[in-house]
């Protein structure tokens, strides 16, 4: 929270945060405010962002945003905007936000745009896609009942392809493996998770970008082979989940990889 936030603003922020993190039964209803979905063309080029890798947030945090809030109140929740947008006079703020999907280290990169009215109060919001909005405004899941019998979990097919050091190009052997994976599971493939990883050489922010570039390269290869882009969930996990820890140093080739995983229907 910024040091210049007033005492009343701090109280409002803490009260709102308490409501989200400690929900009461009455909080289970659908939110009264639901932001828009805007086309990607409405958002600035992420290459011009001051924080291209985005920031990780709990999905509950942006849910606190409501029309009428001041810039100081929004700043206390999200920090400075990510595209050289000032605090005074600017009518739009843009953010790159990262949310974990709940499946290991996978996360989704989302874009959020805020619009301010003439009084510099929050007028409206827009997310880059419905999946991002749903992560923030999804209704609470009902409590699971006791199972009536043993649950059989079917292991879904996976494939790991590897990359050269500091590269994001799909190698010929990886392309052949992807082709065989699709052909062998042609009838059962519906959705695929594509997650990129790196070794632990290099800064964290650089590895986050490199892992996403690798995942994107595999996704483009899959699309070229006929997989619809809408059936792919693409993410980068950087160096946070190493497949192999060796004594030889940080640049272990087993960690420079992309994991392709078939997803179940309920994911």
pLDDT digits (tens, 9 = 90+) for 31-41: 467 899 998 88
Confidence band, pLDDT 50/70/90 cuts, at residue 126: very high
CATH code given to domain 158-243+250-263: 3.30.1330.60
Burial track 109-118 (b if 16+ CB lie within 10 A, e otherwise)? bbbbbbebee
More confident residue, 50 or 4: 50
Residue range 118-128: mean pLDDT, rounded: 93
Say which residues have a Cβ less than 8 Å from residue 87's Cβ, sequence separation at least 6: 71, 75, 80
Give percent above pLDDT 70 in the chain: 79
At residue 201, does pLDDT exceed 90?
A: no
Give percent above pLDDT 90 in the chain: 24
At residue 99, does pLDDT exceed 70?
A: yes
Q: Is the separation of the CB atoms in 211 and 236 below 8 Å?
A: yes
Q: Where in the chain is the domain with CATH 3.30.1330.60?
A: 158-243+250-263
At residue 250, does pLDDT exceed 60?
A: yes
The pLDDT tens digits for 230-242 are: 888 888 888 877 7
Long-range contacts of 264-267, Cβ-Cβ distance < 8 Å, separation of 24 or more = 264/156, 265/190, 265/191, 267/103, 267/191, 267/193
In a 10 Å sphere around its CB, with 0-12 CB exposed, 13-18 middle and 19+ buried, how is residue 210 labelled? Answer: buried
Closest CA to 156 of 192, 103, 126: 192
pLDDT for res 235: 87
Q: How far apart are the first and last CA of the chain?
A: 35
Residue 105 backbone dihedrals phi, psi, to 5 degrees: -95, 10
Helices (H) and strands (E) in the chain, counts: 6, 9
Residue range 238-247: mean pLDDT, rounded: 74
For residue 104, the SS3 value is: coil
**Taking the CB of residue 204, how many other CB atoms lie within 10 A of it?**
12
At residue 112, does pLDDT exceed 60?
A: yes
């Amino acid at each position: 929270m910024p040091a210049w936030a007033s005492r009343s603003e701090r109280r409002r922020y803490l009260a709102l945060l308490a409501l989200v993190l400690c929900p009461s039964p009455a909080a289970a209803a659908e939110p009264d405010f639901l932001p828009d979905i805007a086309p990607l063309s409405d958002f600035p080029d992420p290459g011009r962002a001051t924080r291209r890798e985005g920031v990780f947030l709990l999905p509950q945090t942006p849910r606190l945003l409501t029309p009428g809030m001041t810039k100081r109140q929004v700043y206390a929740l999200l920090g400075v905007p990510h595209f050289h947008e000032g605090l005074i006079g600017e009518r739009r703020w843009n953010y790159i936000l990262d949310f974990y999907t709940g499946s290991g280290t996978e996360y989704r990169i989302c874009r959020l745009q805020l619009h301010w009215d003439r009084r510099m109060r929050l007028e409206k919001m827009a997310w880059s896609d419905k999946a991002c909005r749903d992560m923030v405004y999804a209704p609470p899941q009902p409590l699971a009942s006791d199972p009536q019998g043993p649950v059989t979990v079917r292991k879904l097919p996976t494939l790991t392809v590897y990359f050269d050091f500091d590269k994001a190009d799909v190698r010929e052997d990886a392309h052949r493996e992807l082709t065989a994976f699709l052909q062998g599971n042609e009838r059962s493939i519906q959705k695929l998770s594509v997650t990129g990883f790196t070794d632990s050489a290099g800064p964290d922010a650089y590895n986050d970008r490199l892992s996403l570039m690798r995942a994107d390269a595999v996704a483009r290869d899959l699309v070229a082979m006929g997989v619809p882009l809408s059936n792919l969930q693409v993410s980068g996990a950087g160096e946070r989940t190493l497949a192999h820890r060796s004594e030889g140093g940080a640049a272990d080739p087993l960690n420079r990889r992309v994991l392709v995983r078939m997803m179940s229907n309920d994911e």
